[in-house]
């Protein structure tokens, strides 16, 4: 069974871009449009990997990661941050929240695929 | 990308929709900031909007847009972080930057050339430098430490090894992994010496979902093999924490393997892990890393928190699930959204229209008792609910149309040298998407008109005892089935003498015409009228308020003007809530039925003998409470029932209000009923027909033509003009 | 007929206007309806008989004979409306009688001759088809294929408006 990835991003185009490029690489993709929705979807789909944006309305990526890590079931789920931000401050915060890795937008589909396989072979 | 370009184009189209939304949000926020609202929410909203545009622009390869939005975002980020104060000067630059950003978006869409943004970029940089320095040198700011770190986002290697730091956006590596932070520069690795990699994942690395095994496996695929496992850190069994990590692996790899490939394996590994990559000879680096590791266990209390919860799941689950519960509770009102192609909604609306029609066919055919028996009233109620729901799906806040105004005002101010403050209210009023798309142009003209003709120059205003800055109040509200949009200025008002003189000069009215103030005011909407004494750059473009009026009327709306000399002018657009459904009066003429828009109908008169009088062979008037209104026989206009010249007493006269001719009586055979009808465009399969606003399908499945009152009453009463060409005539 | 090359085979609906047989491409046909008096319209060309309700769409009904410059059709029991799609728009054509659906080969279509009484621009070509045995007097009959695009109503509408 191919890996199931939940992508959380408030931009529909970004979600679709992720879906298109990752589906082509054999992943199954689910999407959510903000942190609150993302957390709901986590419980619903129980993905193998979570990819989340940081800047989102309602519940941002940091809060989402913290919330996800707070659920025992998801403690081992790899979480990648996909963001245009790249300050060390933000990355440290993401790490503290419990992110597994950080990918800077814009992403290259192939490299993203490789990065995903690295944390979620 | 293997997804194919078609898919990408589609996604890109969505991206541009998002850009439009983002721009609207950003502009609204910036305008709020310009008006003094610099709350964190407002600034964060602007930041997020620009940030999203930047994110997508990179993904879709719009380099110029990416570069500009990045620089803009940098400034916004500083403002958001409180390191740059959102002074009026800063906000002004950002408003300018917003305009350039809009132009960049348009350019990315291929609608225009890329704007010249050098000057704006310099202005943004100046803010970053100037204000940033002021903050550092100035107040005892609590945020200095991260500020310094953040302001140098590039260059340094990521000391966490936490994954990639992309360099400046200009040379964005799409997946810019930065090397793990181990100082190897001093080493002079002997070529082809085998690699020795030491890897000891930290506790945090495990807590964040990393799986060390994957990394070891990946190294093995490169030819690596485990040569040693250091288990010296293992505590006694009693102290063993299953969530912690105690092992350090030593893996040897062939010297031919590229160092970068090895490093990439560790991209996602927590920075406090032991990661040591070296040619066999080099031992120096290890020491440094070991030192770091030695620090690791006691310090990272915070990152461990989640792990601690899970280590004792029975004892401590309370706090986290509570947080989760909160989040879930918050999720309830936060509705999910999906994007739907507007054409699908149109289709849905059409189908609901059919449902409504078939419902009325049923009620026409069934006796009241049968209607009850088959529970038709319940079906009608549900149908109505579906209809309302579908209508609400198409409803959009009018904010989208208003959002164009601030920029336009800025341009107008620059062109005219006038100063204008914009106030808006009722932006959340919802209006059908179809209406929304069509009010942009009329609104633009009204604003232009207000600035050009209404608002005085600052000198003139001061001389008149008014503030130098004029005010335009833009508002929207729903009143019944209409949306009322007002553009109110506090300018000089309409100069009625000049308007009147101009209208006489242009032959619109005769020199001796007796006109009320309102009638004079409405002359500025007369075709071909323009009061501008010099054709100004702004309003005198050959289109004027007459175009506004005809556009609004084409939507089934109306324009009103109220003006008080010296105090200002208010333009009022009354628009239908929807373009799809019309409240109509069904009238009968001979065998045919027509629909009169109820908004035009003032009253219905059953003429008494002598109340309708001929004034010439081709014209009649009706006497109504002492005044005379022209009467037109609709049947005659359409050439229906020409042989059956009913006497007025056998007919009904419907008094309608028209822009062109004021109150006019329309004579019809009889009125059938009043009901909502679904408007079907004649253009869909034919072409527009003057005098008709469309058609509808009536309860019995036949077609009723919807009358365009203004076009009808504006016409002379020659029956040839609208004569029916069909076989029935 | 040359059944060897059926790569260009197409089906046409044949119908009569007066004595002449016409055909239109089957792919354009939406449905055939019985004649029903349409709702007349003001200010339109005389061959537009009005509009009718076709499953919720308001569709114009065209007197095809008049459109082609002939005497108007008389309505009788076999009068039909051919509902067709022209460039995504729907129109109904009043015809005297629908005859048949026949397969023809594209290669057998001959260019339109100078046909008197018919606006040549609306004829895409002509083709000979075999008559059905029962009514055979001549073995073949000539069918004028209509160029539906040339019959489109929107352009006509603009002509009138101009």
Give the pLDDT confidence of B446-473 residue by residue, as tens digits.
898 889 888 999 999 999 999 999 999 9
pLDDT (0 to 100) of residue A51: 93
- ipTM value: 0.84
B540 shares its domain with B609: no
pLDDT (0 to 100) of residue B674: 80
Three-state SS for B162-216 is CCCCCCCHHHCCCCCCCCCCCCCCCCCCCCCCCEEEEEECCHHHHHCCCCHHHHH
Query: Cβ separation of B354 and C56 shorter than 8 Å?
Result: yes
B433 shares its domain with B559: yes
**What does the domain layout of chain A look like in residue ranges?**
4-119
Q: State mean pLDDT over A19-37.
A: 86
Question: Closest by alpha carbon to B648, among B661, B657, B636?
Answer: B636
pLDDT (0 to 100) of residue A114: 79
Give how many domains chain B has, as a whole number.
Answer: 5
What lies within 8 Å, CB to CB, of C161 at 6+ separation is B687
CATH number at residue B459: 3.30.565.10
Give the pLDDT confidence of B306-329 residue by residue, as tens digits.
333 333 334 433 444 444 444 444
**pLDDT of B725 over the 50 cut:** no
Query: Cβ separation of A67 and B174 shorter than 8 Å?
Result: no
Q: Which CATH architecture has domain A4-119?
A: 3-Layer(aba) Sandwich (3.40)
Tell me which of B94, B120, B152 is where a domain ends: B152
B547 shares its domain with B592: no
DSSP-derived pairing of the beta strands B612-616 and B395-397:
unpaired
**pLDDT of B236 over the 60 cut:** yes
pLDDT (0 to 100) of residue B704: 92
B139 shares its domain with B212: no
Q: How far apart are CA A16 and CA A37, in angstroms?
A: 16
Q: State mean pLDDT over C115-138.
A: 66
Question: Closest by alpha carbon to B94, among B154, B147, B32?
Answer: B32
pLDDT (0 to 100) of residue B716: 52
For residue B728, is it within any domain? no
Give the pLDDT confidence of B369-380 residue by residue, as tens digits.
888 888 888 888
B599 shares its domain with B706: yes
Q: Which residue has the higher pLDDT, A76 or B140?
A: A76
3-state secondary structure of A81: strand
Tell me which of B527, B557, B576 is where a domain ends: B576
3-state secondary structure of B621: strand
B536 shares its domain with B433: yes
Q: How far apart are CA B131 and CA B89, in angstroms?
A: 11
Chain B nearest CA to C18, separation (Å): 19
* CATH H-level superfamily of C9-161: CheA-289, Domain 4 (2.40.50.180)
- CB B660 within 8 Å of CB B713: yes
**What does the domain layout of chain C look like in residue ranges?**
9-161
For residue B11, is it within any domain? yes
For residue B123, is it within any domain? yes
Place of tokens 């990416």: B66
pLDDT (0 to 100) of residue B44: 87
Query: Cβ separation of C40 and B686 shorter than 8 Å?
Result: no
Give partners of C (≥3 CB pairs < 8 A): B
Nearest residue on chain B to C75, alpha-carbon basis:
B727
CB contact A103 to B (< 8 Å) = yes
Q: How far apart are CA B297 and CA B79, in angstroms?
A: 37
Q: How far apart are CA B352 and CA C3, in angstroms?
A: 49
Q: How many helices (H) and strands (E) would you count in chain C?
A: 3, 10
Q: State mean pLDDT over B150-172.
A: 34
Query: Cβ separation of A105 and B59 shorter than 8 Å?
Result: yes
What residues make up the domain containing B697? 581-714
CATH number at residue B122: 1.20.120.160
Q: How far apart are CA A8 and CA B325, in angstroms?
A: 19
CB-closest option in B350, B687, B692 to C154: B687
Q: State mean pLDDT over B487-492.
A: 92
pLDDT (0 to 100) of residue B476: 92
Q: State mean pLDDT over B206-222.
A: 73
Give the pLDDT confidence of B557-573 residue by residue, as tens digits.
778 888 898 899 999 88
B594 shares its domain with B540: no
Query: Cβ separation of A105 and B303 shorter than 8 Å?
Result: no
Chain C residue numbers touching B687 (CB-CB < 8 A): 153-154, 156-158, 161
CB contact A100 to B (< 8 Å) = yes
B373 shares its domain with B406: no
Q: How far apart are CA B149 and CA B156, in angstroms?
A: 10
3-state secondary structure of C110: strand
**pLDDT of B545 over the 80 cut:** no
Give the pLDDT confidence of B335-394 residue by residue, as tens digits.
567 777 777 887 787 788 778 777 777 777 788 888 888 888 888 888 878 877 887 787
Give the pLDDT confidence of B504-527 residue by residue, as tens digits.
887 778 888 788 888 888 888 776
What lies within 8 Å, CB to CB, of B595 at 6+ separation is B582, B584, B585, B586, B587, B677, B696, B704, B705, B706, B707
CB-closest option in B353, B689, B695 to C43: B689
What lies within 8 Å, CB to CB, of B152 at 6+ separation is none
User: Across all residues in chain B, what is the average pLDDT?
Assistant: 73
Lowest-confidence region among B415-424, B539-548, C17-26: B539-548
Question: Closest by alpha carbon to B274, among B227, B212, B221?
Answer: B212
Q: Do chains A and C touch (3 or more CB pairs under 8 A)?
A: no
Query: Cβ separation of B327 and A67 shorter than 8 Å?
Result: yes
B695 shares its domain with B621: yes
For residue B37, is it within any domain? yes
Q: State mean pLDDT over B156-173.
A: 34
Chain B nearest CA to A55, separation (Å): 6
- CB B567 within 8 Å of CB B490: yes
Tell me which of B380, B396, B412 is where a domain ends: B396
Nearest residue on chain C to B593, alpha-carbon basis:
C39
Give the pLDDT confidence of C23-77 residue by residue, as tens digits.
998 888 988 988 988 999 887 888 899 999 887 789 999 999 888 878 888 888 8
Q: What does the angle CA A43 – CA A47 – CA A53 come to, to the nearest 5 degrees?
A: 90
- CB B726 within 8 Å of CB C46: no
Six-digit token string for B279: 């040619």
Chain B residue numbers touching C52 (CB-CB < 8 A): 703
């Amino acid at each position: 069974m191919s890996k199931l990835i939940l992508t959380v991003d408030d931009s529909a185009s970004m979600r679709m871009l992720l879906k298109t490029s990752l589906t082509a690489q054999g992943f199954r993709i689910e999407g959510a449009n903000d942190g609150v929705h993302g957390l709901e979807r986590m419980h619903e789909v129980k993905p193998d990997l979570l990819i989340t944006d940081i800047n989102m309305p309602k519940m941002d990526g940091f809060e989402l990661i913290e919330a996800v890590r707070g659920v025992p079931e998801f403690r081992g789920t790899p979480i990648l941050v996909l963001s245009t931000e790249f300050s060390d401050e933000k990355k440290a915060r993401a790490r503290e929240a419990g992110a597994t890795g950080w990918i800077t937008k814009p992403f290259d589909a192939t490299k993203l695929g490789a990065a995903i396989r690295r944390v979620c072979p | 990308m293997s997804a194919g370009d078609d898919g990408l184009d589609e996604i890109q189209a969505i991206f541009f929709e998002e850009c439009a939304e983002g721009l609207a949000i950003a502009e609204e926020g910036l305008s709020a900031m310009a008006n003094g609202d610099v709350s964190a929410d407002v600034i964060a909203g602007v930041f997020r909007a620009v940030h999203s545009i930047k994110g997508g622009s990179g993904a879709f390869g719009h380099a110029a847009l990416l570069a500009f939005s990045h620089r803009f975002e940098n400034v916004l980020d500083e403002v958001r972080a409180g390191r740059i104060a959102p002074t009026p000067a800063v906000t002004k630059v950002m408003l300018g930057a917003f305009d350039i950003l809009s132009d960049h978006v348009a350019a990315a869409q291929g609608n225009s050339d890329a704007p010249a943004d050098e000057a704006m970029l310099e202005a943004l940089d100046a803010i970053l430098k100037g204000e940033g320095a002021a903050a550092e040198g100035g107040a005892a700011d609590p945020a200095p430490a991260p500020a310094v770190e953040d302001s140098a986002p590039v260059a340094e290697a990521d000391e966490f090894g936490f994954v990639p730091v992309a360099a400046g956006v200009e040379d964005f590596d799409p997946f810019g992994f930065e090397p793990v932070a181990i100082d190897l520069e001093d080493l002079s690795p002997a070529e082809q010496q085998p690699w020795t990699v030491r890897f000891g994942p930290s506790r945090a690395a495990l807590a964040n979902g990393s799986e060390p095994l994957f990394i070891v496996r990946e190294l093995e695929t490169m030819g690596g093999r485990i040569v040693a496992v250091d288990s010296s850190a293992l505590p006694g069994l009693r102290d063993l924490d299953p969530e912690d990590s105690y092992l350090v692996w030593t893996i040897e790899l062939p010297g031919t393997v590229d160092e970068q490939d090895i490093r990439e394996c560790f991209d996602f590994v927590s920075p406090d892990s032991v990661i040591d990559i070296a040619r066999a000879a080099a031992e120096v680096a290890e020491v440094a890393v070991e030192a770091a590791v030695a620090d690791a266990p006691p310090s990272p209390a915070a990152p461990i928190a989640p792990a601690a919860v899970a280590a004792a799941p029975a004892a401590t689950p309370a706090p986290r699930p509570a947080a989760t519960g909160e989040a879930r509770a918050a999720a309830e009102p936060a509705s999910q959204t999906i994007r739907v192609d507007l054409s699908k909604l149109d289709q849905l609306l059409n189908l609901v229209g059919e449902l409504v029609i078939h419902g009325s066919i049923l009620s026409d055919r069934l006796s009241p008792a049968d209607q009850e028996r088959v529970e038709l009233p319940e079906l009608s109620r549900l149908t109505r609910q579906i209809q309302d729901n579908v209508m609400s799906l198409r409803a959009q806040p009018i904010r989208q149309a208003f959002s164009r105004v601030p920029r336009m005002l800025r341009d107008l101010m620059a062109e005219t040298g006038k100063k204008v403050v914009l106030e808006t209210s009722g932006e959340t009023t919802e209006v059908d998407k179809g209406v929304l798309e069509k009010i942009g142009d009329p609104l633009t003209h009204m604003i232009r008109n207000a600035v050009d003709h209404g608002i005085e120059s600052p000198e003139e205003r001061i001389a008149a005892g008014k503030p130098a800055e004029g005010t335009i109040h833009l508002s929207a509200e729903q009143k019944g089935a209409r949306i009322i949009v007002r553009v109110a200025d506090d300018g000089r008002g309409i100069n009625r003498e000049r308007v009147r003189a101009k209208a006489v000069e242009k032959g619109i009215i005769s020199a001796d015409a007796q006109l009320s103030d309102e009638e004079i005011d409405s002359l500025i909407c007369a075709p071909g009228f323009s009061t501008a004494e010099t054709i100004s750059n702004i309003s005198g473009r050959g289109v004027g308020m007459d175009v506004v009026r005809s556009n609004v009327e084409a939507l089934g709306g109306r324009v009103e003007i109220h003006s008080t000399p010296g105090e200002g002018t208010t333009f009022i657009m009354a628009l239908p809530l929807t373009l799809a459904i019309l409240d109509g009066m069904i009238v009968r003429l001979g065998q045919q039925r027509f629909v009169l828009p109820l908004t035009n109908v003032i009253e219905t008169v059953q003429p008494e003998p002598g109340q309708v009088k001929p004034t010439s062979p081709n014209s009649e008037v009706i006497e109504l409470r002492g005044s005379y209104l022209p009467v037109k026989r609709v049947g005659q206009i359409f050439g229906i029932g020409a042989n059956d010249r009913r006497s007025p007493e056998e007919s009904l006269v419907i008094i309608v209000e028209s822009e062109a001719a004021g109150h006019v009586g329309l004579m019809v055979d009889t009125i059938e009923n009043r009901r909502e009808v679904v408007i079907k465009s004649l253009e869909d399969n034919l072409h527009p027909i003057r005098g008709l606003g469309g058609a509808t399908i009536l309860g019995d499945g036949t077609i009723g033509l919807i009358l365009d009152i203004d076009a009808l009453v504006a016409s002379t009463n020659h029956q040839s003009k609208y004569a029916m060409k069909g076989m029935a005539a | 007929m040359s059944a060897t090359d059926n790569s260009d085979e197409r089906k046409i609906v044949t119908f009569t206007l007066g004595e002449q047989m016409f055909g239109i491409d089957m792919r354009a046909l939406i449905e055939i309806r019985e004649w029903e008096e349409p709702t007349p319209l003001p200010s339109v060309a005389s061959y537009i008989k009005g509009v009718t309700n076709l499953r919720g769409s308001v569709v114009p009904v065209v007197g095809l004979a008049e459109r082609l410059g002939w005497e108007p059709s008389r309505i009788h029991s076999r009068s039909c409306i051919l509902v067709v799609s022209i460039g995504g728009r729907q129109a109904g054509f009043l015809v005297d009688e629908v005859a048949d659906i026949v397969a023809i080969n594209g290669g057998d279509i001959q260019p339109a001759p100078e046909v008197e009484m018919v606006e040549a621009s609306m004829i895409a070509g002509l083709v000979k088809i075999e008559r059905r045995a029962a009514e055979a007097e001549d073995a073949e009959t000539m069918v004028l294929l209509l160029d539906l695009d040339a019959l489109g109503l929107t352009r006509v509408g603009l002509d009138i408006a101009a």
